[in-house]
Every structure is written in structure tokens, then in C-alpha cells.
Amino acid sequence: MLGEKVTISVIKADIGSLAGHHVTHPDTLAAAAKVLSEAKRKGILIDFYVTHAGDDLELIMTHRRGVDDPEIHGTAWNAFKEATKVAKELGLYASGQDLLSEAFSGNVRGMGPGVAEMEIEERPSEPIVVFMADKTEPGAFNLPLFKIFADPFNTAGLIIDPRMHEGFKFQVLDVYEGKSVTLSCPEEMYDLLALIGTTGRYVIKRVFRKSDELQAAVVSTERLNLIAGKYVGKDDPVAILRAQHGLPALGEILEAFAFPHMVAGWMRGSHYGPLMPVPEKYSKCTRFDGPPRIVGLGFQVKNGRLVGPADLFDDVAFDETRRLAQIVAEYIRRHGPFMPHRLGPEEMEYTTLPQVLEKLRDRFVEVKVATKAIIRRSEMLSGEERVD
């Protein structure tokens, strides 16, 4: 019905995979689907779709309970737990890796799974896109979302569609401080770029149309290493975007992924590599546990029912993007353990490298060298200098 609210929830977790961090096993998907099917029978869910991106189990659900609902999150948690049981029976690798707690506490946020949810009023035609990434972090969506909602060279509608011409607002989350700021484009575009170019810290969480505050996009921003206090796998984010009717067209949304930009993650979460858009059938991470992949599924939402999906990157139009991604992957891999392939020291702090460095700590000795004060820039990029 026109104007009736529906919530789209995409919740994912790595609960174990076949032959290393490679691909989910079909039996784990079936176990999760059984739990969601029962929830649909009971009226908890309107509809659902279970799939995977690489080694991540993805639950796409619709309901009328709003965001952060304990019943919905509990259903997802039970689906992951049942899938984990199957993973352990099969001896799959890293069974239950993303489930950082044994007991459900009413909400899966902070417990390991990634969550993107959006409550909307259905339009007469409601096209949505669900993006699911593997072997990367939430900041991987920063560049595509900027291009989709702020770059007229990507999205012509920003110039020629009067419903989009005022621009969009971006809610940016500082994942280290747990604070957010909302910036308006185009007038605050440079401020936005000053933040979101630091993809490991400042992450686009939500996007709103300025003219009426309509929510257009949401991203899962959970950082597993910050939650667990150690490296337990990469975050593998998901995102929900609404399309058409005064929002970017489907083609404008997909165009942002025609450039395989560099993202953090890949092997052991410790390397930069190109984000390769692939269909579901190629969503398996092999070469150096990668390269990082992204899958896009298109749905129509009608009275809460999921019509589809369309496998959006299953198209020869993205063959050249994939070819370029492979060329970039070949080039960057030749750097081996050297930067810029390996992440910088601030990001490596949250991987397994510190354990290696610890055993060398006492072997460092003082050397007489000419030194000077270290000048560090403010973390907020203000340009102020501080001498330590």
C-alpha cells in the first residue's frame, strides 16, 4: 500500500567457509534459510533472501518492526547460530568467526555481525540495491557513495533532475571516537572529502536527500577489530540504496563501481587491493584470498515483498572493470610485504603484525643520530601543528 512503512534489514556474518576464507557452503545457507522461513511463517518477517558474498552469509529481510528490533536481530542471530552448527559439523574453516559472543543480548550490533537497516515509506515502485562486499572494510563504500550522491560527472541527475538538484546530506561516522557529523553537498563537499578520504576512520553511514530528508542509503559500519580488540577478520560491509524517482538511477548507482578503486583488506586484512564488482557466481575469494569483491543485487519492494533479485554485475559491461582490477591486482601484488600494498602502520596496529614486532622489541638498541622534534598533524585534519 502507498505510504505504508516497511523495514529492509541486511545482516551478515562470517560463520565458516569451505577451504579457507573462500566461499560459504550451501548447507550453511540452507540452515539459515530454514530459520528465516519459520520466522516468515510466524509473521515476524514479510519476506527474505539468503545469499553469500565470498565467505560471508548474507540475510536480506523485510518486516514492519523498524530498525534495531530485538525480534528481527534475534532471528538473524539464531540463523547464524544454526548455520554455525552446520559449519562445525562439516569442519568448515573459522566456524562462527564473526559471532563474538555466545549469548544474544537483544541486538546484534557490537556482537560481530554487520548490520544495515532502513525504514522506508514504499513508493508506488520501490527499486532498491543491496551491495555486499568481502575482504574489505566499511570505508570501501566512501568513494562510490560520494560519486553516486555528490559527483555530477557520475550522476547526471544531480544536474538535470530538479528533485536531486539541491543535493544530498552525508552522515559520517568516526569509528574510533563513536561520533558522527552530517555534511551537506555541494556546499560542504570539500569538508566531506577531507574526512572520507581517510577510509579507515571516517565512514559514510547514511545519505539523505536534502529537499525532504528522505533516506537514500545506509551502510554497515561495524569494525570487527575495534569491537574485539584484536584482528578477527575483515568487516565485509553491506549497504542498501534506494533508486529512481528523484534518486540516482540504477545505472548511475552502478556506474560508481565501474572504477575498481583501491580498498583496505584482502589477505589477513592487511593489504590494499582493487574492489572487483562480480556476479554471485564469481563471489569467491581465491587469489591471495581476494581480490576484494562486491556483489550487487537489485530488488523491487512491493508491500514488503522482495521481487527479484537481479544480479546486477552479471553483465559484460563490467568485464573491462574486472580486467582492470586484475591488472591492478597483479601490479600491487608484486610489492609483496612492502607498502603501499601492505597497509600503513596505524592500520597494521589492528592486525596480527604487532605480535611479530613484540618479540623484537627488546632487541632494539639506542643509536646516536641527529634528531629533531616530530611534528604531527591534528587527527581532525585542521592543519594545526603539535610538537611532541
DSSP 146-157: HHHHH-TTT-TH
Q: Which residue's C-alpha cell is 560471508? A: 56
- State the residue for C-alpha cell 558522527: 180
Q: What is the pTM of this model?
A: 0.91
What pLDDT was estimated at residue 314? 98
pLDDT for 127-169, tens place per residue? 999 999 999 999 999 999 999 999 999 999 999 999 999 999 9
Cα torsion angle, 65, 68, 69, 75, sign: positive
| Active-site pick, 12, 81, 169, 234 | 234
User: Active site includes 176?
Assistant: no
Question: In the chain, which stretches have pLDDT less than 50?
Answer: 1, 227-228, 230-233
Dihedrals φ, ψ of 59, to 5°? Answer: -110, 115
The phi and psi torsions of 119 (rounded to 5 degrees) equal -95, 125
Q: How much is the pLDDT for 227?
A: 47
Residue 233 pLDDT: 47
CA 269 from centroid of its chain's CA atoms: 14
Q: What does the angle CA 214 – CA 302 – CA 70 come to, to the nearest 5 degrees?
A: 70
Note the pLDDT of residue 228: 45
Cell output for 137: 572494510
202 noted as active-site residue: no
pLDDT, residue 234, reads 52
Q: What is the DSSP letter of 377?
A: E
Catalytic site residue 350?
Answer: no
Helix axes 70-89, 26-41, angle to 10 degrees: 150
Selecting among 49, 231, 272, 350, the annotated active-site residue is 231
Contacts for 365 with CB less than 8 Å, ≥ 6 apart: none
pLDDT, position 226: 55
Give me the catalytic one of 12, 14, 98, 135.
14
| Spatial separation of the C-alpha atoms in residues 374 and 388, rounded to whole Å | 6
